[in-house]
């Protein structure tokens, strides 16, 4: 998403952050295989892993989950049930791919990482379009 935001020159209007729902990769750089897949598409991944917290509900207008398990993990932090309208599945924004969840390529090969980059690019392009139309 940051790559697309920079390409379109809209960084003053749109900001993003990334967080996982589990704590086991906190502080880690992006997976080297995902980084390689991104680089093959001209995308540079930056940052380090952090864990999603309940405070993030107030910080962000939209919270995207990669799969239904993460979606439920995020909603479980919404103890007052006031932020569900902000939480969506990433694949809801796909136009080219019909996946309902972003598959986890972690235990697969290079093709799985390439597929996830393509899927996320599809979703991010259309998400950004919808944001910029507001």
Q: Residues with catalytic annotation?
A: 104
* Integer Cα distance of 51 and 42 in angstroms: 27
**Rg (alpha carbons) of the chain, rounded to whole number:** 15
Q: At what angle do helices 110-132 and 32-40 cross, to 10 degrees?
A: 60
Nearest alpha carbon to residue 18 among 10, 29, 9: 29
Whats the size of the chain, residue-wise? 134
| CA distance to 28, 36, 80, 127, per residue, from 50 (Å) | 8, 21, 23, 23
């Amino acid at each position: 998403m940051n790559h697309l935001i920079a390409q379109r020159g809209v960084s003053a209007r749109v900001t993003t952050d990334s967080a996982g729902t589990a704590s086991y990769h906190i502080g880690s750089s992006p997976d080297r295989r995902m980084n390689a897949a991104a680089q093959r598409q001209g995308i540079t991944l930056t940052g380090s892993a952090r864990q999603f917290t309940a405070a993030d509900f107030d910080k962000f207008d939209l919270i995207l989950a990669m799969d239904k398990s993460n979606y439920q993990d995020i909603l479980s932090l919404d103890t007052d049930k006031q932020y569900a309208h902000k939480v969506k599945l990433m694949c809801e924004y796909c136009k080219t791919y019909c996946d309902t969840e972003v598959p986890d390529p972690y235990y697969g090969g290079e093709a799985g990482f390439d597929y996830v980059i393509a899927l996320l690019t599809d979703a991010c392009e259309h998400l950004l379009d919808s944001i910029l139309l507001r």
